[in-house]
Structure 1
Amino acid sequence: MDERTRRVDPKLLELLVCPLTKGRLSYRAAENELVSEKARLAYPIRDGIPIMLMSEARKIDD
């Protein structure tokens, strides 16, 4: 199964929070990342594992 077609377990999404804001995250399947709208950061998911490090996060400009 292609990594981009995988879904994030909803239970995992309930547990994970942004390390900066401690706020909720949303899953963007197209980019395969977890997004903190509050912090304007996107955390990548690699090999099915969310990388919740600020140093690995992508800043959202839009």
Structure 2
Amino acid sequence: MESKTNSVDTKLLELLVCPLTKGRLTWNAETGELVSERAKLAYPVRDGIPIMLVSEARELKD
């Protein structure tokens, strides 16, 4: 059975938006995070579950 630890279902990704900006998210497979370019935040994905809390997001540096 394939592990979903470092991936997000593509259909789920189409539905999810940044809770701060309501903008689109992109999947960064290298870091295992959902990225909001507008908010400059990266949301973690743990055991295949996106953690869509601003308090849990990592701030992106320019």
TM-score, normalised relative to structure 2: 0.88
Structure 2 residue ranges without an equivalent (≥5): none
Structure 1 position 16, deviation (Å):
0.3
Task: Look up the match of 2:17.
Answer: 17
Distance change >3 Å, CA 47–CA 2, structure 1 → 2: closer
Code of the aligned partner of 1:61: K
Code of the aligned partner of 2:5: E
TM-score, normalised relative to structure 1: 0.88
Structure 1 position 10, deviation (Å):
1.2
Structure 1 residue ranges without an equivalent (≥5): none
Number of residue pairs aligned between Structure 1 and Structure 2: 60
Code of the aligned partner of 1:21: T
* TM superposition outliers: structure 1 runs of 4+ over 2 Å: 1-4
- RMSD, aligned CA: 1.3
Over the matched positions of the two proteins, sequence identity in percent amounts to: 68
Structure 1 position 3, deviation (Å):
2.6
Distance change >3 Å, CA 2–CA 49, structure 1 → 2: closer
